[in-house]
Structure 1
């Protein structure tokens, strides 16, 4: 089986989408099959941000650590497919190769959609690495053993770094470059921030 080539962003003009899912508040336990879910995706190209329709759908699987693709994947996939255009790269609030099986949700979703993907989280899952310097755009590697699977990426001095994860058809270096390149004054890259806001706003409205 041929390995698909790694994606490299153009110097300018590439588009990025972010996707996010949240579930009903006030439920008991870590998460059950059938929990109400809200998923959204947002597309960013230059200064333009387009938020797609919110997908309302029950979770098809309970919460199991390491198996988020079964619980969150179908909702996120539907949200990305509802966007008006196909992005060049997809950002997912999940890990990629930083995973016990080197196949976190960000990698799974990119493979399903045949889209280069990058995972973005507040902290690594099992990878380790020293925090980067407190400087704009500072990076430091995240490794599992001797393998680099992502980078700490600090968008701006004084902000906490994010973990940028290599996922489907992306290298650790490209993952970090994408995260840093999408900084718009907030810690979270704009496609993910817009998708998160849309999903959470819909949940709040529906739960009133």
Structure 2
């Protein structure tokens, strides 16, 4: 099994990459941050890494093509933003949607293109968020971007299921990644969210390594 993990400085994708490698998968990890990739490579030398700006459409496509053939894709790149509608600017919009939506669509298209060329089945998992389903205060852009991920996932599943290509989204609530800590370490923000979680706690980590 050959898999590609697309992640961005967050431990969800990193944890998935490590666990897949431990299960014997050939893993390629893409990230915009070289330091994150170097740390991953030091921990798991068998994982191949490529440092690429995921918002660069052409560079990302070329990086992925070097990894062909690919049977499994995990899209876990994501950025967050706590803004109200009246705080939204074009720049803030582009930052969120370029990573959370544009990059995901580009990577998915490139991988499916290879699967179709090989007439091979495949599996794609998109890391979305509960914010796509349940409204959160001051998450205007983030919620909209993750709702786009869910809608995209459903549409692609309908189009390519007949080809044996499965695509699903996973919608976690709060995971204390570096990104999660930035937003949920503040008790004022965290308490209303915790009240909605039956266990009254967040996920402390993704995988034990």
Greater C-alpha radius of gyration: 2
Task: Name the TM tier (shorter chain).
Answer: 0.3 to 0.5
**TM-score where L is the length of structure 2:** 0.32
Task: Flag the structure with higher helix content.
Answer: 2
Q: Which is strand-richer, 1 or 2?
A: 1
